[in-house]
Structure 1
Amino acid sequence: MSLSAPPPPSAPSLPRKSSMPPIVDVDTRLLILGSLPGEASLAAQRYYGHPRNHFWLLMEHVIEAPLIALDYAERIARLRSHHVGLWDMIASATRPGSLDQHIRAVEPNALRPLIAQLPHLRAIGLNGAKAAQLAEKQLGTPEALAVHRLPSSSPAHVVPIAHKIEAWRVLHPYC
């Protein structure tokens, strides 16, 4: 009779995290795509809801109009007035915490159907490496759109803010 070791305990399954609906309209010319909202954003149901995320500061430089001092609804209205839309590449995934490196079991958002509904879309800004990686898989190289890989607005992406601002300013002509 041989004895075998009991199977290892299974890792607790992580709950799936789901992205928020896109913020776009028929006049959207620039679509900013992140990966999957972090914990603070999901809890508040607000894009870029972590207070240390640089997104709103970066977008102030892109659209050349104040955003940080505004409440969330006013920020979104201001982005829309500059023809900027927001969404994420991931519809749902598992991830402990907020770091992109821990994202697993990805279900992508249906990006192509959304793009087809945006007749004035001219450019996509990919916020961070994970968003860029997923967009390449899903979109390839779209002929009619300018696609810009951007440094992540996350505070975990340690790059001088001046460098991030300079990189993100490439989006200004589309606003």
Structure 2
Amino acid sequence: MNNQKIYALDPIIDKHSRILILGSIPGRQSLIKQQYYGNKQNHFWPILFTIFDQEEIESYDEKIEFLQDKRIALWDTIGSCYREGSLDSKIIEAEPNPLHDLLSQYPNIQKIGCNGVKSYQTFQKHFPHLMNQYDVRKLPSSSPIPGRYTKTFQEKVAIWKELIVS
């Protein structure tokens, strides 16, 4: 995937969705698998399973059913970009996803959680007017990559839970 343009996955959403979780753009393993948060090291699925006191689910189809049962939708702020590897810091020439179109098709969305700094910065840059229309929150990244602002798993769970169950 060196110097190749990469594209986001299709959104996972239905008419019952109330919360939209936005990543930046899937990492290499997720794109290869064509699955959101396909890297087993990522904390996304364990965070959600912990919040809902759910035993771990292995099947991707069952994970999607779990999300839909909880009225959670997934997509990304970035629709396409160039990136070497999987780090958000390597993203260049990012083009946003058409969030306006998605949100107009699914009016039941009330809350938006941006998974990590890059997702939140992209949202603020391209969709500042939506900040007042929705409860938009910057969530600590579910990525396991250590960074300057890394939180513990339990700290991530607590912050994500504020968005999801409030």
**Residue pairs, 1:1-175, within 5 angstroms:** 14-62=3-51, 64-66=52-54, 68-142=56-130, 143-157=132-146, 158-173=150-165
Q: Deviations over 1:61-94 (max 9, x none)?
A: 33x1426233110010010011100001111101
Is 2:19–2:164's contact at 8 Å kept on the other side of the alignment?
Answer: no
Q: What does the per-residue CA deviation read over 1:8-58, in whole Å, with 9 as the maximum and x for residues that have no partner? A: xxxxx7110111000001111000000010001000000000010000011
Give me the whole-angstrom Cα distance separating, in 1, the residues matched to 2:88 and 2:66: 28
| Structure 2 gap ranges (5+) | none
Partner of 1:10: none
**Residue 61 of structure 1 contacts residue 169 of structure 1 at CA under 8 Å; is this kept in 2?**
no
| Number of corresponding residues | 161
Whole-Å separation in 1 of the counterparts to 2:50 and 2:19? 15
SS of residue in 2 equivalent to 1:132: helix
In terms of Rg, which structure is larger?
1
Percent same amino acid at aligned positions?
37
Is this contact kept in 2: 1:67–1:78, CA < 8 A? Answer: no
Superposed CA RMSD: 1.5
Amino acid at match of 1:168: W
User: Normalised by the size of structure 2, how large is the TM-score?
Assistant: 0.91
